[in-house]
Amino acid sequence: MLFRKKAQKPDMYNFRVLFVLFLLCFGLTFGIEVFSKYMEREPDGTFVAREEVEIYYENYYIKADKARYNPRTKEVVAEGNVYVKSTDGKLEVKKGSYAYIDLNKKVGYFLNAEGRFQKFYFKAERAEMEGDIYRIKNGEITTCPPDRKEMVLCSSKARIDQKYVISGNNSLKLFRVPFAYLPIFVYPVGERRSGLLPPTIGSNTYNTFIYQQPIYWAISRDKDATLTIDLRDKQAKGFSIEYRQAFLKEDDLQFRVSYYKEPTPPGKWWEGRDPTTFRENRYRIQMNLDLGNFRAGLDTISDPYFLEDTYLRAKERRVPYLTSYVIYKKDFERFLITFEAKHFYDTTSPNNKNTLQKLPEIDFYWKSQQLWGPIFFSLFSSYTNFYREEGLRAQRLAFFPQLSIPKNLFGRVFYSNLVFENLYYFGLNQPGYKQTVSSLYFSESVPFIFDLQTDNFKFKNFLKVGYSFRGKDLNNQSFDNIDQLNKINQLDALWTGSMSYKDKEILNLYVSSAYNFLGKYTYDNITADRKLLPIRAIVSLKPFEGVSLITDSLYDIEGGFPLRTSNSLNLSYKNNSLTLGYQTTRSLLNQRTSDQTSLSFRTSYRSAVFGLFLTRDNRIGKDLVRQASLDYRGACWSLGLLARDNYNGTRGKYIKEFYLTFNIFDLQSFITPLKR
């Protein structure tokens, strides 16, 4: 126990030095130090320190105008401008009028206190301490910094420990204005704590009220789960449970089950749909497992309209196919083996009976090896079981050995490839199809690389010229790209280039086309008499800071019109960005099959972000999606508003949606990735 006066008189110097040395030795035993300007000892042994009092004891630092210390009971009473801080940084009472601490039992209380515990700040008439547990009475709690207390939770009492804050009789205030009453509120302290996550509230054409409440459970360092309750006043009500676990890296296992109970009979949202698809009990089961070479996934739903009816985000609602799979890959020094079994669920069709499945597909690839001289040999073979409930199905064996010969001619390296293509079909369920198909495919190619540089400009170019030949049309059944063995006799060219100015890339270019000696080709199941195949051009241009243009087009040279065009122009300046897009496709008969325009705008001012999004179908003259959003990021909270119109072509009307999302006290920040 050590006491020191901050001001000492010269005539008492020698005596006080001996006294301080004595107290220093005495203090090493009891581990307490007291500094002050004035100090005295009362008859009962209590020491009283006044003015600029500082006390150090194990994990605590105490500062006050006046303090009393009882060395027998190790009790400290501090008064006036009380400041208390723990050495581990978890507790800090920045201001208080009175403090009592039993240093032996590690209990005490503070009056009219303001301070911080881990990530949140508190202010209370009385704050009690019992080890690592704190209780607050008639106070407020917030995660906002002290100079920006925009959102606070006022409560009559609260309990704080190393994991949670539990408060009762709460009034939630935004900018000191009460907007919600909560009889009890629980939120985590520190990292990855279980508790309630911010909900989503909204409405749409079919529901006047939608409420989604996620509940997070941090099971352990490498496991967690989320339960989301989904309530709607008219449509299906349900819940989803998601479980995640890390084995070798983050998110090796994800498992999710969603269940909804549909009212009987269904409401207006089922009008125009196939009535046979209706299910009172609706579900989706998802699973993804990644163990390196082995991966597996499950994704299945009760009916094709499940995604459209239950999800709020457009990206989740418009998934055309769900895929369940098992994949195993093993890479050896000389060969690669792949096993895949894939089952697809077509969400765009009333039933899944015509969807083609691969159950399974086994691939074997023998890597290129030198046989003799300049000749190299490689082999691709596969077995696939194509299955569907209704329609053509079969088992196919593909056997494609390949010989490659690189050779130097005229100072260039020419690559000759000869592929022996063999397809064998078994178990065809319909007559009239070929059982065996064989062909020979030959290709020749030569690459050219040339770079140019003038002053600050650099040009990099790659050109490949080639010739390919297949002697006949096989007219075999087509399950995938391997079956498409059509007659080929063409000269093709591919050019890629880039241009940079002062080491900053401003242009990327890709161009490819071919001259077809056969005089005809097939595009999108239509055959046309053309010698020049469509030219594919991709241009990415960034001429100035904040300006970028990307265009991808497929142009029918002889027909004189584009078959496919996708353009995107992005403009950005400071906190503003604008993106304009245009996509169109046409058939070889110059008939429009799709024509859409899109616009996206985003701007921000301080903590507010405003966005607009529009997609228009020019063929029908309707906006497919109209969306406006506003997000505001506060000191320890955020608020998001989303209004959207989705055009339903089946019903010929717009489905209106409005959603509100908010994050109280930044609860999302308490969730971190899984770790092993």
Can you tell me the distance from the alpha carbon of 155 to that of 180, in angstroms, rounded to the nearest whole number? 12
Can you tell me the distance from the alpha carbon of 595 to that of 587, in angstroms, rounded to the nearest whole number? 12
Q: What is the pLDDT confidence band of residue 29, given thresholds at 50, 70 and 90?
A: very low
Can you tell me the distance from the alpha carbon of 310 to that of 283, in angstroms, rounded to the nearest whole number? 10
Q: What are phi and psi of 432, to 5 degrees?
A: 95, 0
- Token couple for 560: 């004189």
Note the pLDDT tens digit of each residue in 578-614.
999 999 999 988 899 999 999 999 999 989 999 999 9
Can you tell me the distance from the alpha carbon of 458 to that of 500, in angstroms, rounded to the nearest whole number? 5
Is the CA virtual torsion 466, 470, 473, 477 positive or negative?
A: negative
Can you tell me the distance from the alpha carbon of 62 to that of 35, in angstroms, rounded to the nearest whole number? 10
Identify the pLDDT of residue 670.
57
Domain ranges across the chain: 2-117
**615 - beta bridge partners?**
598, 625
Helices then strands, counting H and E runs in the chain, come out as 3, 44
Identify the pLDDT of residue 486.
87
Task: Please confirm whether the linkage preceding 199 is cis (ω < 30° from 0).
Answer: no
Task: Please confirm whether the linkage preceding 265 is cis (ω < 30° from 0).
Answer: yes
Distances (CA, A) of 83 to 52, 80, 168, 448: 11, 9, 27, 75
**Are β-strands 547-556 and 223-232 bridged in parallel, bridged antiparallel, or unpaired?**
unpaired
**660 - beta bridge partners?**
201, 641
Q: What is the pLDDT confidence band of residue 626, given thresholds at 50, 70 and 90?
A: very high
Note the pLDDT tens digit of each residue in 445-475.
999 998 888 888 999 999 999 999 998 888 8
Can you tell me the distance from the alpha carbon of 200 to that of 48, in angstroms, rounded to the nearest whole number? 57
Note the pLDDT tens digit of each residue in 302-355.
999 999 899 988 778 889 999 999 999 999 999 999 999 999 999 998 889 999
State how far Cα 385 lies from the chain centre. 35
Dihedral-angle region of residue 269 (phi above 0 means left; psi in -120 to 50 means alpha; beta otherwise): alpha
Write the DSSP string, 199-234. PEEEEESS-S-EEEEEEEEEEETTEEEEEEEEEESS
Note the pLDDT tens digit of each residue in 87-119.
877 788 888 999 998 888 888 899 999 988 877
**196 - beta bridge partners?**
215
Closest CA to 121 of 136, 104, 103: 136
Q: DSSP 3-state assignment of 357?
A: strand
Query: What are the residues whose beta carbons fall under 8 Å from the beta carbon of 353, sequence distance 6 or more?
Result: 388, 389, 390, 391
Write the DSSP string, 414-458. EEEEEEEEEEEEE--SSTTS-SEEEEEEEEEEEEEEEEEEETTEE
Question: What burial class does residue 148 get, using C-beta atoms within 10 Å of its C-beta: 0-12 exposed, 13-18 middle, 19+ buried?
Answer: exposed
Beta strands, E only, 483-542: 488-501, 504-516, 521-523, 526-528, 535-541
pTM for this one? Answer: 0.73
Q: What is the pLDDT confidence band of residue 179, given thresholds at 50, 70 and 90?
A: confident
Distances (CA, A) of 94 to 54, 115, 146, 380: 14, 5, 11, 73
b or e along 64-103 (b: 16 or more beta carbons within 10 Å of the residue's beta carbon)? bebbbbbeeebbbbbbeebbbbbeeebbbbeebebbbbeb
Whether 251 shows a pLDDT value over 80: the answer reads no
Is the CA virtual torsion 277, 278, 281, 284 positive or negative?
A: positive
Q: In this predicted model, which residue has the larger pLDDT, 23 or 643?
A: 643
Can you tell me the distance from the alpha carbon of 401 to that of 424, in angstroms, rounded to the nearest whole number? 15
For 372, the enclosing helix (H) or strand (E) is strand 357-372
Identify the pLDDT of residue 372.
86
CATH class of the structural domain 2-117 = mainly beta
| Residue written as token pair 């309990």 | 159
Is the CA virtual torsion 429, 431, 436, 439 positive or negative?
A: negative
Whether 409 shows a pLDDT value over 70: the answer reads yes
Most confident region among 161-165, 218-222, 227-231 by mean pLDDT: 227-231
Identify the pLDDT of residue 11.
41
Distances (CA, A) of 555 to 1, 129, 586: 90, 76, 10
99 touches 77 (CB < 8 A): yes
DSSP classification of residue 308: H
Query: What are the residues whose beta carbons fall under 8 Å from the beta carbon of 84, sequence distance 6 or more?
Result: 60, 61, 62, 63, 78, 91, 92, 93, 96, 99, 101, 110, 115
Can you tell me the distance from the alpha carbon of 143 to that of 225, in angstroms, rounded to the nearest whole number? 25
Can you tell me the distance from the alpha carbon of 537 to that of 548, in angstroms, rounded to the nearest whole number? 17
Query: What are the residues whose beta carbons fall under 8 Å from the beta carbon of 92, sequence distance 6 or more?
Result: 84, 85, 86, 115, 116, 117
Can you tell me the distance from the alpha carbon of 209 to that of 234, in angstroms, rounded to the nearest whole number? 8
For 64, the enclosing helix (H) or strand (E) is strand 60-70
Identify the pLDDT of residue 676.
54
398 touches 482 (CB < 8 A): yes
Whether 402 shows a pLDDT value over 70: the answer reads yes
Note the pLDDT tens digit of each residue in 526-556.
888 889 999 999 999 999 899 999 999 999 9
- Amino acid identity for residue 49 in this structure: A
DSSP classification of residue 532: B
**85 - beta bridge partners?**
61, 92
State how far Cα 330 lies from the chain centre. 29
Can you tell me the distance from the alpha carbon of 275 to that of 350, in angstroms, rounded to the nearest whole number? 9
| Residue written as token pair 């749409």 | 204
